[in-house]
């Protein structure tokens, strides 16, 4: 997000484009980093586009299953970087309490 109803989007063709969020979505649909959005390209400006629609996570998974999105695209990463997925060999991000610790509190 860049402010003033604009965001920077990395398109499937590999180019970064400055996107203007259309008025119907402005302040109603929040776009975060890592979200899959539908972008309308402009005929007269290759480096600018319009954000038309934000796909929900289940819609994005269906698009990937139908082959509309490339296979190397990772879904639902966002800023957190895929916190839902458990990676092997990674450090635990939570604290385990035993019953003895809870009784002391």
Taking 70 as the threshold, does the pLDDT of residue 88 lie above it? no
How many Cα atoms sit within 13 Å of 41 on the Cβ side?
A: 10
How remote is the C-alpha of 2 from its chain's centroid?
15
Taking 60 as the threshold, does the pLDDT of residue 5 lie above it? yes
Pair type for strands 37-41 and 48-54? antiparallel
pTM of the model: 0.64
Place 32 in a pLDDT band, splitting at 50, 70 and 90: confident
pLDDT digits (tens, 9 = 90+) for 50-77: 999 999 989 998 998 898 888 888 776 5
pLDDT digits (tens, 9 = 90+) for 11-26: 988 899 999 998 888 8
């Amino acid at each position: 997000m860049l402010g003033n109803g604009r965001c920077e989007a990395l398109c499937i063709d590999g180019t970064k484009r400055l996107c203007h969020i259309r008025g119907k979505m402005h302040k109603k649909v929040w776009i975060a980093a890592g979200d899959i959005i539908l972008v309308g390209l402009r005929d007269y400006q290759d480096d600018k586009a319009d954000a038309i629609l934000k796909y929900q996570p289940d819609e994005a998974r269906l698009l990937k299953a139908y082959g509309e999105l490339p296979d190397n695209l990772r879904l639902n990463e966002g800023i957190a970087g895929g916190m839902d997925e458990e990676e092997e060999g990674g450090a635990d991000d939570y604290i385990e309490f035993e019953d003895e610790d809870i009784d002391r509190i």
